[in-house]
Amino acid sequence: MFDLLSALLDSASLWDAVAGGAEKGRPWRAAYLRNTYAAGAYRPYDQLVREAAREVGLPELLADRLVGSYGELAPWPEVKPVLAVLERHVPLAIVTNCSESLGRVAVARIGIAFDVVVTAERAGYYKPHPRPYQVALDALGAAPEDVLFVAGSPYDLFGAAAVGMPVFWHDRMRMRAPPGAPAPIAHHDNLYPLLPSVIR
C-alpha cells in the first residue's frame, strides 16, 4: 500500500513550478501539508490549497493552476520498474490525500493498474486519520500486519501505525520525522530496497 503524492510521484517539483520556484513552492506546500494533517474530516482539496497560498502570501489563483497541472506529475525514476515487479507478486493499493478526480489523474501518471485506490474524499478524512488506511485495508480484504505501507510523508508513520501496518519510509526529500513518530521498519531515499522486503 502506497502513499501517492510523495512516495510515488514528485509532487514537490510541481508545486515549485506553479509557484515560480522552490523558494515560494516549498513554503506553500508545507503550509498545505500542515493544514491537511490538521484537517481531519475531508474538506475540498482545492480549498485547502487555496488557503495555504493565502497563508504564505501567494495569489490564490495558483491553486487553480496547480490543480490544472496534475496531469504533469512525474513518477520518481524507479517507480515504474519497481511496481512492474511488485504487481506480479502482490496486490497494490494507494491511499492519498486528494479528491477523487485528482486522484484518478495522478494515479494515471504511474501507468500501473492498482487493485485499490482510496482518496481522502472517498474515505471522508485526510491522512493521518486512521480511516483512509482502514478503508483500503477493508477493500483489500487484508489484515494490517500483512500489508506493508510505503510512506512518503513522515506523518504517514503515525497513520499507518495507528491501524497496525508496518511502514517502509521512502524519504526521497530527506524530511525530518515529527517528535513521537513511530519508527519505520525501513528508511530509504529510493524504492529499490522495497523489492527484497516484499519478494522472498
Mean pLDDT by 10 residues, the chain (200 residues): 97 97 96 89 95 97 96 97 95 97 97 96 96 98 97 94 97 89 95 87
Would you state the pLDDT for residue 38? 87
Tell me which H or E stretch contains 169: strand 167-170
| Model-wide pTM > 0.85 | yes
Ordered by start, the domain boundaries in the chain are 11-72, 79-198
Residues pairing with 151 in the sheet? 169
Would you state the pLDDT for residue 147? 97
Would you state the pLDDT for residue 177? 87
Measured CA to CA in angstroms, residue 102 lies from 140, 170, 192 at distances of 22, 22, 27
Query: Where do we find the cell 481531519?
Result: 40
Q: How much of the chain is in helix, strand and coil states, percent to nearest 5?
A: 50, 10, 40
Per CATH, the homologous superfamily of domain 79-198 is: HAD superfamily/HAD-like (3.40.50.1000)
Would you state the pLDDT for residue 198? 80
Would you state the pLDDT for residue 176? 86
Alpha-carbon gap, residue 180 to 166, rounded angstroms: 16
Long-range pairs of 15-19 with CB within 8 A, sequence gap ≥ 24: 15/66, 17/69, 18/62, 18/65, 18/66, 18/69, 19/58, 19/62
